[in-house]
Amino acid sequence: MATIVFVIPDQCTLLDLAGPVQVFEEARAQGAPVVLSYVHYQPQAVSSAGLAFAPVPHFATVALEAGDLVLIPGIADESLPSTEEEAYPEFYAWLRTLAKRGVGLCAVCTGAFVLGAAGLLRGRACTTHWQHVGALQHAFPESRVLADRLFVHDRGVYTSAGIAAGIDLALALVEERFGALLTYRVSRRLVLYYRRNGLHGQVSVYLDHRNHLHPGVHLTQDYLLDHLAENPTLEVLAAVAHCSPRTLTRLFRQHAGLTINEFSTKIRTEAARTLVATSGLTRQAIAERCGFRDPRQLQRLLARAV
């Protein structure tokens, strides 16, 4: 069970906090083994929009270990720190201790200045809101601030661009820990399009072949994703899409760019690959969960997909 701690600083930007919170809460609802927690390090916490937060525990009361995450939202310009000597040295020391322990440290937007004040951007690549790229580089010259990036990960430290990019970072963190299928389901539930980082080396089978506007084909693709173990027949899928099997076969190829069987095989193989890497289940159990006849068929498809 991983703990996701959200730091609530004074003058934080609401969407920087609420966006990632909602992503992880939905991941939890979809079965991800996470616990969400909230902490403070200042006497009060009022958002930059004037919304006051209820009291939350002090950061020092939370026990974290490797694999947990701490996320710091953006802060209004006038409240940005530049050096750890300015204030709250105990909090910055806590962040450094967590980094050494293997806890992931994440910053949305200008939250990167907090990580910089803790000395955690030194020698690392990072990013922030486009309006603050120059200021971040000036404040922390030993960092390497990258512009035009949704998010950057460098040795356990995650930073993202402004505001809504925190949602993209949160989705990337969910995928990193719990796989692409759960991430797809989270983004679909939240009516989000998952924009991966431009340097991400892996395409997502769950997003491929979805760049079309045909509702019946989308319904079919959603049904296949939600019924991996069943391997539904063409007749069942046609009923889902409210058309004949022949029409669905034609429409699917026309709009998705591949056959129904090809799409089904791709998503079941990718789901199996994720389970092999993360679940500890036997090959027999994975084959059954992903709709394959037996482990031998699964192994052949995994080998072919490499």
Tell me, yes or no, whether 155 lies in a domain: yes
Tell me, yes or no, whether 176 lies in a domain: yes
The pair of structure tokens assigned to 304 is 């072919």
* Nearest-angstrom CA–CA distance, 25 and 4: 10
Contacts of 47 (CB under 8 A, 6+ apart): 11, 12, 13, 14, 17, 53
89 and 227 co-located in one domain: no
Tell me, yes or no, whether 203 lies in a domain: no
32 and 128 co-located in one domain: yes
* Nearest-angstrom CA–CA distance, 287 and 299: 9
Tell me, yes or no, whether 206 lies in a domain: no
281 in Cβ contact with 289 (< 8 Å): yes
What residues form DSSP beta bridges with 37? 5
6 and 133 co-located in one domain: yes
Please report, for residues 13, 106, 121, 148, 260, the alpha-carbon distance to residue 141 in angstroms, rounded to integers and kept in the order given.
Answer: 25, 20, 9, 18, 52
135 in Cβ contact with 77 (< 8 Å): no
Cα dihedral 15, 18, 24, 29, rounded to 10, equals: -130
Q: What is the mean pLDDT of the chain?
A: 91
Structural domain of 24: 2-189
158 and 222 co-located in one domain: no
Q: 201-242 pLDDT, tens per residue?
A: 345 677 789 888 899 999 999 999 989 999 899 999 999 999
Please, which pLDDT band fits residue 251 given cuts at 50, 70 and 90? very high
Please give the residue that has the higher pLDDT: either 130 or 202.
Answer: 130
High-pLDDT (> 90) share of the chain, %: 73
What residues form DSSP beta bridges with 154? 157
What is the predicted pLDDT for the residue at 202?
41
Tell me, yes or no, whether 21 lies in a domain: yes
- For the chain, first and last CA: distance in Å? 30
Contacts of 102 (CB under 8 A, 6+ apart): 65, 66, 67, 156
99 and 151 co-located in one domain: yes
105 in Cβ contact with 156 (< 8 Å): yes
**CATH of residue 40:** 3.40.50.880
What is the predicted pLDDT for the residue at 163?
82
Q: 43-58 pLDDT, tens per residue?
A: 889 999 999 999 999 9
**How many residues appear in the chain?**
306
225 and 87 co-located in one domain: no
Please, which pLDDT band fits residue 199 given cuts at 50, 70 and 90? very low
**CATH of residue 281:** 1.10.10.60
Catalytic residues: 109
Please report, for residues 224, 245, 246, the alpha-carbon distance to residue 219 in angstroms, rounded to integers and kept in the order given.
Answer: 9, 14, 16
What is the predicted pLDDT for the residue at 2?
97
Tell me, yes or no, whether 196 lies in a domain: no
174 and 248 co-located in one domain: no
Tell me, yes or no, whether 116 lies in a domain: yes
**Helix H or strand E encompassing 6:** strand 2-7
Which string of b and e fits 96-129 if b means at least 16 CB within 10 Å? Answer: eebbeeebbbbbbbbbbbbbbbbbbbeebbbbbb
97 and 238 co-located in one domain: no
Q: How many domains does the chain have?
A: 2
Pairing status of strand 2-7 against strand 34-39: parallel
Tell me, yes or no, whether 103 lies in a domain: yes
